[in-house]
Amino acid sequence: MSIRIIAFAAAVTLSSQAFAQSSVLISPRTISLDAAHQVAKATLDACRKNGFNVTVIVLDRNGRTRVTLHDDNANPHTVENARRKAYTSLTFRVNTMEYGKRFTGDARPPMLEGITTAAGGMVIRAGNDVVGSIGVSGAPGGDKDQACAEVGLATIADGLK
pTM of the predicted structure, to 2 decimals: 0.84
Q: Is residue 56 part of a domain?
A: yes
Q: Is residue 15 part of a domain?
A: no
Q: Give the pLDDT band (50/70/90) at residue 7.
A: low
Can you point out the beta strands (E) in the chain?
55-60, 65-70, 121-126, 129-137
Round the average pLDDT of the chain to a whole number and report it.
90
Which residues form the domain of 125? 33-160
Q: Is residue 20 part of a domain?
A: no
The CATH number linked to 106 is: 3.30.450.150
Percent of the chain scoring above 70 in pLDDT: 86
Q: Is residue 141 part of a domain?
A: yes
Local structure of residue 49 (DSSP, 8 states): H
Strands 65-70 and 121-126: unpaired
Q: Is residue 42 part of a domain?
A: yes
Contact 61, 49 (CB under 8 A): no
Q: Is residue 87 part of a domain?
A: yes
Q: Is residue 22 part of a domain?
A: no
Percent of the chain scoring above 90 in pLDDT: 74
- Which whole number is the average pLDDT over 22-46? 91
Separation in Å, CA 107 to CA 47, 84, 100, 147: 32, 20, 10, 27
Q: Does the pLDDT at position 18 exceed 60? A: no
pLDDT tens column, 49-61: 999 999 999 999 9
CA dihedral 13, 18, 20, 23 (to 10 degrees): -160
Residue 33: name the closest of 123, 149, 132 by CA.
Answer: 132
Residue 138: name the closest of 15, 44, 58, 52 by CA.
Answer: 52
Q: Is residue 37 part of a domain?
A: yes
- Which whole number is the average pLDDT over 105-134? 93
Length of the chain: 161
Counted domains in the chain: 1
